[in-house]
Amino acid sequence: MVEQRPSWAPAELDLELPNAARIYDYLLGGAANFKQDREFADNLLAVLPEARRAAQLNRAFLRRAVRFCVESGIRQFLDIGSGIPTEGNVHEIAQEIAPETTVLYVDNEKVAVTHAQAMLGDDPRTACLHADLTDPDTVLGSAEAARLLDFDKPIAVMMLAVLHFVLDSAQPHEAVARYVAAMPSGSALVLSHGRMSDRRVQRVSEQYQRSSNPGVDRGWPDIIRFFDGTELVEPGLVWAPLWRPEFADDDEPPESSLFCAGVGIKP
């Protein structure tokens, strides 16, 4: 049975095709998802029971990395593949420490953008742009970027849990290099990338082929290459829970977080 379209769902949206933003929203306990997304996520959890916890650990990395950037003096964020707003959005974390911080969110999924725009309202310090990561000219040349980002001052470019949805044929390394090139010295590249160390990766990839975001599994060297033009801060590229943890959690093997994460600073 086709689900009734809620009022917030853009008319052109294909409710039958599961989507990464809404699957992730469901894993995090959000309500901006449809039956097909939930079924997909439940199948995913059957193969990969740690996926929900992995999403939470990725959000925890986001929180620590945003704080790190603000404490390092950065007051501008460009969050690409920002997703459907969930508790602890970048502007909320950053503005708690430095209220003047500006944040431009970018996502290529309509539901994510619609929800973000509704949440942000007419806040002059934030905006959400509907654009694709692989189109840096549109993102960097947008009116929103001109309003919110001063390219003469350090900017944190965030790409969390998104690059594994960008196939090599779409040239993600070249796109990331363009963002890094546009940022002044002292800017940060904050990145997390899906990473599975066992054979289940094959089954998960096959599942995502049925969604609007077929994924790609990259090894550590290809992920580290995204940081070209920056210097990784300690502890480098590591499993997400190991990146400057706030408290020790010895119970969970770090690789069950399914994400590796790091922060590079442009010299």
Ligand X SMILES: C[S@@+](CC[C@H](N)C(=O)[O-])C[C@H]1O[C@@H](n2cnc3c(N)ncnc32)[C@H](O)[C@@H]1O
Q: What is the smallest separation between the CB atom of 111 and ligand X, expressed in angstroms?
A: 8
Which CB atom, from 82 or from 257, has the smaller least distance to ligand X? 82
| DSSP class of 133 | T
Of 78, 94, 107, 71, the residue nearest 191 (C-alpha): 78
- Tell me the C-alpha to C-alpha distance, in Å, between residue 11 and each of 15, 110, 113, 127, 259: 10, 10, 14, 22, 33
Report the site for ligand X in 134-193 (rule: CB under 6 A).
134, 160-162, 165-166
Q: Out of 32, 33, 59, 142, name the contact with ligand X by CB under 6 A.
A: 59
Respond yes or no on whether the N-terminal peptide bond of residue 235 is cis (omega within 30° of 0): yes
Contact 203, 233 (CB under 8 A): no
Q: How many CB atoms lie within 10 A of CB 236?
A: 14
| DSSP class of 3 | P
Q: What is the smallest separation between the CB atom of 63 and ligand X, expressed in angstroms?
A: 10
Q: Out of 89, 108, 114, 230, name the contact with ligand X by CB under 6 A.
A: 108
Which CB atom, from 64 or from 250, has the smaller least distance to ligand X? 64
Q: What is the smallest separation between the CB atom of 1 and ligand X, expressed in angstroms?
A: 25
Q: What is the smallest separation between the CB atom of 127 and ligand X, expressed in angstroms?
A: 15
Q: Out of 32, 94, 133, 189, name the contact with ligand X by CB under 6 A.
A: 133
Torsion sign, CA atoms 104, 168, 22, 246: negative
Does residue 40 interact with ligand X by CB under 6 A?
Answer: no
The full DSSP string for 193-257 is EE---STHHHHHHHHHTTSSS------HHHHHGGGTTSEEPTT-SEEGGGSS-SS---SS-GGGG
Name the one range near ligand X by CB under 6 A: 38-46, 69-77, 91-99, 131-139: 131-139
Which CB atom, from 1 or from 192, has the smaller least distance to ligand X? 192
Q: Out of 91, 107, 149, 263, name the contact with ligand X by CB under 6 A.
A: 107
Which CB atom, from 112 or from 155, has the smaller least distance to ligand X? 112
Report the site for ligand X in 74-93 (rule: CB under 6 A).
80-83
Measured between alpha carbons, how far apart are the two ends of the chain, in Å? 55
| DSSP class of 151 | T
> Can you give the binding site for ligand X, defined by CB under 6 A?
20-21, 24, 58-59, 62, 80-83, 107-109, 112, 132-134, 160-162, 165-166, 213
